[in-house]
Structure formats: C-alpha cells, structure tokens
Amino acid sequence: MTTIRVLIADDQMMVRQGFTVLLNAEPDIEVVGQAVDGLDALARVAELAPDVVLMDVRMPRLGGIEATRRLTGPAGATVKVLVLTTFDLDEYVYEALRAGASGFLLKDASADELAHAVRVVAAGDALLAPNLTKRLIAEFSRVTSSPRAPLKDRVGDLTERETEVLSLIAQGLTNGEIAERLVLAEQTVKSHVGRILGKLGLRDRTQAAVFAYETGLIRPTGY
C-alpha cells in the first residue's frame, strides 16, 4: 500500500497537532512535517518532498495563497495543495484555485472528510467542499461575464470529444463518472484528460476546471 506523505502548514499549533493526530490514524496517510507559515512551508516542502500540503489561507509572513502559487508554479512541480480555512468566503476559494490549489476544504470538516480530501487530491482529482461549490460557480460566472479572447481561442485546439470531457471536468465529475456519462472506458477518459492538459498547458484537472469557466466554455445557470 502506497503511503501519502502530508505536510501541514498552519500558524495555530493546536490545528497542526489536531490534523496530525487525525491523519496519522489513517493506514495510508503519514504526516511527515509541520510548518508555521507560508515561508516555512516552502522550506519544508523542499526538505521533505510531501505528496500533499494542507495549507491554511491566513498565516503570518507569507499567506497560503501566495505559498501555493510558489509551490505549484514551477515546471515539474508535483506537490498537491489542499487549502484549509475557517473563512467561508468566495474570494479565497477562487484565488486558491487560481493559485494552483487542487482542493479547498473548511476546517470544520470531519476526520473522514479530511482523509478523503487528502486521498482525492493525492490521486490528482479536484476537490471542493460541497457547500462552497454553488457560490464558487456563481463567482466564476460573475468574473467571466466577458471571456478573454486569448483563452477562448485556445479552446479551439481541442477536439469535440476533448471539449466535452473538459466541460464535465469543470462540473466536478471524476474520470469514472465521465466514462459512464459518455459510455467510454475509464482509461480512454484518462487519455483524453492527459491530452487536454497537454494542449492547454495546464498542470492538473483543477486548473482545467478554472480554464473552462474563464473561457466561458461552462456557463452556469440558475445562480
């Protein structure tokens, strides 16, 4: 069984220790280190090479969003960031995903939800707290009322099937769910996702979802 290596970055010691106890109780997850702020997180990631960083949003010296941007920005970066916050605010969700975070979860999540989130993000899937998704979609809709032409033009590089897969990624479907929806083999969907990321120059499916909303490929309705 592969063990997921986790680093916890939070300026509150009780939060770090609490998450450590919860995650170390899981057979497939190991907390390999803790960081007290964003700068400390950068140094610890370089030292410990974790698979996933649980990143608080508000921290001294360097906040979680900028730390996420620095961790995920370099070419070849493989660490996944799961942003954790007590602040149920749309701007944090949006900016965290724009910065390269693979998921977003509130700190009051249960132990099971936290462990599930770590596994989902480590596997390369996107994760959002369900109670944040509706407002996030509304925020994407608000800020993308006029899609930027350069981004919109890039959608033309995709085949019709790839565009269809991208739209389903943006709706939060997993590869398995997309395969069922389109009546395809899951491995075929995985191949489509890889080609989409390659053509658009994106690092993961979370960025693909952001791209889909920013280009206007997805137009939320009912909000």
Full pLDDT tens readout for the chain, 223 residues: 789 999 999 999 998 999 999 999 999 999 999 999 999 999 999 999 999 999 998 888 898 889 999 998 776 678 999 988 776 665 677 778 778 888 888 888 888 989 988 998 888 766 665 555 555 655 655 655 555 555 556 677 889 999 999 988 887 777 888 999 999 999 999 899 999 988 888 877 777 877 887 777 766 554 3
Dmax (CA) of the chain: 50
Cβ neighbours for 107, distance < 8 A, ≥ 6 positions apart? 15, 84, 85, 86
| Cα 128 from Cα 47, distance rounded (Å) | 28
Q: What is the pTM of this model?
A: 0.71
